[in-house]
Structure 1
C-alpha cells in the first residue's frame, strides 16, 4: 500500500510545500491518536478540500482520508507512521507567518519561494493545529488517569487565529484601547464544538448580557476569557466571579478591602515607615517617602474605601455585624456574595458574571441592578433573569448555532429584533427558492433545444452565482409536563398551626407560624436569605419537626421536592438513565429515556455522566427524577437557578397545567408573575401574605432602600 505522502502527492499534485509539510507532519506525529476516520477528517479534511485544485467534494475528501487512515493502521494496529515524512512534528504556522526570514535557514525545503503564495489560509492552519494539540493533551491526560479509576471529565479548549497587527501592537506596548476584540476563534468541550469561527467585540463601558440555551457553552466561554485562553491585551484586567471566597480569620469587610492591592501596599509601607521613625531606626529619608505615600493615598481616595466597601456589602445583604464576622463563619452562598462584593469593589476593566442572581434574594437583586447601571467599565454577564437583563444590559449577545450575534438594547429589544430578523431571513429564503425554481423550470424545458442553448447556459451560470441562502434555523421548543396526581381531597391538605421552630433556643426561626395550602394553591415564598424560607419548606414536608405546634398533612398527600442544592441529590458519576434505574427499578431503558426526554434530556445527554452536563441540564435530570413517582403536590426551592429562559417558560407552563398544589421559593420576578397567585413574605420569625402581589413587595423594598440611602 502507498505511503501517506504518496497518497497526498497523487491526489493533490499541486499541493504547496507548506500545506504538504503540515499535513504529513500531523500524520507522522499524531497518527496513532486518530481513533476513527472522522477524527482524521476533522484534523486535515477542511484544509485538503480548500487546496483541492479540481474541487473535490466532501465525499471525495472523506475517501482520501479513509485511505490515509487505513495506511496509518498498518503494522500492529496503527503503530506504523508514514514512511516519507519531512518533519518530526507539525510546523508552527505562526512562526512561519510572523518570522519568515528568521526561519528561512531552518526550513529551506519547506518555505514558499519568494513571490509564491500559499493556497491555504494560514489562520485556519493555526486553529487546526491548536485544536489537534488540545485534543492530544486531553487524550494523554485521560489515558494517564484511566488506570486510577475515578471519573475523568472532558475539558474545554479554545483556538484562535493570530492577528499579526494586534501581536505587534501588543508587544510594542502601543495598544492602549480597553475594547475587547476576539476574532475568528473556536471553542470546544471535549469532542463537541461549541463555537466555530466566532467573533466577540466588547466596547469599553458597555454592559453585555450573554444568552442562549443550556449546554451551548456560555459558562465555558466566560472561563476561556477569564483564563486568557482567548487572547486579550494584558493591560486589560479581568475578574470572573466564579468561586466562593475561601474561609479564614479575615473579617468580611477587610476581605473586600484587600482587593485594592495598591491601597493595601501603600498602607503597609506607611505602617512600616512610621514604626521605624517612632523607634528611632530611620535613615532620614522616611519623611519624604511618607509624604509621597500620603499624596498617593489621597489621590486614590483611600480614606473613602471602607465606606464604599461597606455600602457594597450592605447592598448584598451583609448587616453591620456580618461585615465584622470572619469569612469562615459564612455558608457557601454567603461566600459567593462576598466574592461578588470583592469584584464590585475591585472595579476590573472587564467584569465577568455567571448567573449572579442565583445567589441573591429579591432585595439584593434590586440593589445589584441599580448598582450596575452606573458601572463605568465593561460587563459580560450570563443570566436567565429577563428583568435583570432589561435593567442592566445595554447589549445582548446571543449564542446559537456555534456563533455569536450581538444586538443593541436590552433583552426585550433583542427579542423583537431577533424575531424580525428571522422573519426577513425566511422571506428572503422563500423568495430565492421560488426564483430558483422558476429558472430551473426554464432550464428543464429548453435543455435540449439547440436554439435556446445560449439562454440555458446563461441561466445555469445565473444559478451558480446566486448566493446560497439557508432556511431559518429555529430552535426546538422546550416542553415540560408534570404528570397529574389524579386524586382530589378536601382542603387544607397541608397546614402548619401555631408552629415554633429553632435550631438554637436563643434564636427562633419561627414563632406562632400558621399557614395552609391545598391542591389549587400557587404560592411563592420570598424574603431575604437567612429569613427561614428553606427551613419552612422542610417543616412543611415533615423533614423538620416543629418545636411547638402541629403540622397536618392529608394521608394521601404525595410531595415532590426540588432542592435548592439539587445537584447534591444526584450521583454525578453515572448517567441519567442509570440514575433513574437505581431510583425506580423495574422499568425498561426506553421508559427511563422517555421520562428524561420529557424534560429535554435526550439522545447522548441521557447516557453521558451527569457530571459532564451543564447546570441547566442537571436541573432537568432532577425534574425528571422528582416527577417519576407522580406527586400531587410540589415544593420547589429556587427551581429556575441554572435554567435557560426557554426552559423557565416551559416550567411555568407545566406548573400552570399541573392539577395539584405548588409552593415555591424564587427570586425570578417574571417566573413568579407567570405562575404564582399568592405571595408570602418570610421575615421577622413569621410569614405574611401580601395582597398586592409582587408589585407591592417591590415597592416595599424600594422604600426600604430609600430609607437606608441605597437608592
Structure 2
C-alpha cells in the first residue's frame, strides 16, 4: 500500500498538485490521465523519489520493488537480449555469485545458489527475455544485435522490455504504446493482463486503457480524483459530473443575479437595508461553482480539397522494396475519393514500405504507380516531424506555406492546434514530442491534400488532440490511408481494412477483434516454423500442416466457447459499471429510497456471482485450450 497525504507538487512557480490524498492498493490497475502539463509524469517522479513533494508525506513500504521505463538508452555494445536480462537484477546477482563460487570451487555455495535460482525460476530467464523481445517486435537475429545498432524508437522498446523483465511489485508505464505498432500493443495488453503486481499506467490510448486498467486517476485543476472502472466508464461518469456541474452553475447564477438585483435596488432604502445587507453577506459567503469550460483546447478542420481526381492513385502489379530486396509483390490498388482505409499487418511485413510507395518516396521495383491529375498528398510520418526546423517558430514554418496570408489569420489557425500567444514565436527546438507532432499536422492540414497518408499520427498526442484529430478526419472530404496502433482512430475514421502479410496486400475480411485472433494464429505458426520445421522433408512438412489444420478444426468449438464467454464477461462488466454508477447517487441512500437501493444491491450481487461463474468457465476453457496446444 502506497500513501500520499496532503501532497503538494510544484514545477517552478506552477502548482501541479495541491493537498492531494491518495492510497494505492496492492494489485490495483490504475490509468492516470489528464491534460499535458497536469502533473502525470511528475507524479511518477514523486513515486520514484527522483522528485520530492513541496508539502505533504509520501509513504512507500521499504520492501516494495518499483519498475519503470528508463528515459535514455546509451549506445551499448551488449546484445539486446543481454540488455533486457539486466532488468532482472536478482537473477544477474545470482549469476555473478555463481560464477564466483564456481571459480573458487565452493560446492556448498554452488548448491545454495542453484537452489535460489530454482526458487526464482532463474533457469527460464533467457527464454522469458526472448519472449518479451519477440512480443515487442524483435526477431531472433535482432535479439543478438548490439543495442547501439538500433534507432531511437527501437531503443524505447528495449527500455520497455527491460522494465517488463524486472521483478516488481509496482510497474510504472508512461505512454508505453508510443513507438509500438498495433501487433506490439496487442501483445503488451496480454502481458499486462497477466502481471501480478500493481500497475500505474499513463496513456492517451483509450482502447489500451479499457483493456488493461480497472481504475482511472484523473488529474485536473491541481487535484486527483479516482474513478472505478476503465476509461469508457470514466468518460460516462465524467460527462454526468460536468452536466450536473453546469446545471448547478446555471442555477447558482440565476440566484446570484436575483440577489444582486435586490441588493442594487434596496441597499440604500432604509426599510430594506437590513434585508439587502443580509443578501450581500450571503453573496460573499457563497462558494462559486465554476462554469464548465470547453475541455479541449483543440478544434480544427480540413479545408475541402481543391480537386479530387478519380482515381487519385493506382498501383498496377507493383513490387515494393529496397535495392534488390523485394518486400511486397504484385500490388494492385486503386484509391478513389472518399476511400477510408486502414493497413494492418504484423511487424516488419511492409506497412511503412507500402505507405512510402504510395507517397512516392519509393519507386516500384516492378510495375506501375499512376497518379491522377491534381493529386495532392498529405503525408504524415515520424520523419516528417524530424524535418521541422528546430531554430524556427511555428509562425515561420506556416509562413513558408502561406506567404501572402495576414498574420492574424495564421495565428488564429495555429491557435486551433494549441499554439497561441507567444508560443507561435518560440523555436520548435523547445517543444515536446507532442507539440512537434501537432505542428507537423497543422502544416499538413493547411495544404488541403486530397489524399492523406498517415503513418502512426497519434504518437505523442494527448487525448484531447486525438479526439480533435478523429473529429477532423471524420469530416475530411478526401481519401485516407492509415497505419496506426490507435484502435479508436481506426474504428472512428476508416471503413476498410487491408492486410499486409507474407509479401502480399489483400483485403481483410473482418474487424479488429478478428485481426487480433488472426495475429495470434500467425505468431503461433511462425513459432512452429522456426522451431525446426525447415529441416524436415517436404512430405513431412505437408503432413505437419495437415495435422495442424485438423487441430485447428478440432479447437474451433472451444475457441467459439471462449469467445462467447469473453463477450458474456464484457456484457457483465458493463452491467457492473452501470450498477456502480447508479450506486453513486447520494439520494439513493435516503430512507424513502430504501427499496430501490435494495434492488440495486441485489442486482449487484447477482451480477458479481455471474461474473465469477463466467470467469471460472473461461479459465477452464483456456486451460483446456492450452492442454490441446501442448
Partners of 2:308 and 2:374 within 8 A in 1: no
Specify which of 162, 171, 175 is matched with residue 351 of structure 1.
171
- Whole-Å separation in 2 of the counterparts to 1:374 and 1:297: 22
State the Cα RMSD in Å: 2.9
Partners of 2:309 and 2:373 within 8 A in 1: no
Distance change in 2, residues 1:459/1:329 (3 Å): closer
Residues 602-621 of structure 1: CA distance to partner in whole angstroms, max 9, x if unpaired? 22321222233333222221
Distance change in 2, residues 1:522/1:182 (3 Å): farther
Partners of 2:77 and 2:147 within 8 A in 1: yes
- Whole-Å separation in 1 of the counterparts to 2:414 and 2:353: 29
Residues 525-577 of structure 1: CA distance to partner in whole angstroms, max 9, x if unpaired? 12223222112111112211222221111232111111133330111222211
Task: Report what 1:21 is aligned to.
Answer: none
Task: Report what 2:578 is aligned to.
Answer: none
Is 2:217 the counterpart of 1:397? Answer: yes
Alignment of 1:420-499 (within 5 A): 420-440=240-260, 447=267, 458-476=278-296, 478-491=298-311, 493-499=312-318
Distance change in 2, residues 1:595/1:292 (3 Å): same
Local SS of the residue matching 1:537: helix
Residues 575-626 of structure 1: CA distance to partner in whole angstroms, max 9, x if unpaired? 2112223455454432432331243322232122223333322222111212
Q: Which runs of 5+ in 1 are unaligned?
A: 1-177, 278-285
Is 2:40 the counterpart of 1:218? Answer: yes
Is 2:330 the counterpart of 1:502? Answer: no
Partners of 1:185 and 1:199 within 8 A in 2: no
Local SS of the residue matching 1:486: coil
> 1:690: Cα distance to partner?
0.9
- Whole-Å separation in 2 of the counterparts to 1:227 and 1:347: 19
Task: Report what 1:307 is aligned to.
Answer: 127
- Whole-Å separation in 1 of the counterparts to 2:114 and 2:430: 52
Aligned residue pairs, count: 523
Specify which of 376, 381, 394 is matched with residue 201 of structure 2.
381
Task: Report what 1:603 is aligned to.
Answer: 421
- Whole-Å separation in 2 of the counterparts to 1:598 and 1:429: 27
Local SS of the residue matching 1:530: coil
Residues 186-237 of structure 1: CA distance to partner in whole angstroms, max 9, x if unpaired? 332x665544554554333222212223454434544454462135548344
Specify which of 97, 108, 125 is matched with residue 269 of structure 1.
97
Partners of 2:183 and 2:347 within 8 A in 1: no
Report the TM-score, using the length of structure 1 for normalisation.
0.68
Local SS of the residue matching 2:178: helix
Local SS of the residue matching 2:194: coil
- Whole-Å separation in 1 of the counterparts to 2:464 and 2:446: 22
Partners of 1:570 and 1:622 within 8 A in 2: yes
Task: Report what 1:175 is aligned to.
Answer: none
Is 2:159 the counterpart of 1:339? Answer: yes
Distance change in 2, residues 1:496/1:182 (3 Å): farther
Distance change in 2, residues 1:255/1:477 (3 Å): closer
Distance change in 2, residues 1:403/1:566 (3 Å): farther
Partners of 2:346 and 2:519 within 8 A in 1: no
Distance change in 2, residues 1:627/1:453 (3 Å): closer
Is 2:470 the counterpart of 1:652? Answer: yes
Partners of 2:308 and 2:450 within 8 A in 1: no
Report the TM-score, using the length of structure 2 for normalisation.
0.76
Specify which of 386, 399, 403 is matched with residue 568 of structure 1.
386
Partners of 1:214 and 1:614 within 8 A in 2: no
Residues 77-125 of structure 1: CA distance to partner in whole angstroms, max 9, x if unpaired? xxxxxxxxxxxxxxxxxxxxxxxxxxxxxxxxxxxxxxxxxxxxxxxxx
Is 2:399 the counterpart of 1:581? Answer: yes
Is 2:348 the counterpart of 1:537? Answer: no
- Whole-Å separation in 2 of the counterparts to 1:472 and 1:569: 39
Q: Which runs of 5+ in 2 are unaligned?
A: 528-624
Distance change in 2, residues 1:411/1:537 (3 Å): same
Task: Report what 1:255 is aligned to.
Answer: 83
- Whole-Å separation in 2 of the counterparts to 1:200 and 1:565: 41
- Whole-Å separation in 2 of the counterparts to 1:247 and 1:530: 23
- Whole-Å separation in 2 of the counterparts to 1:258 and 1:422: 47
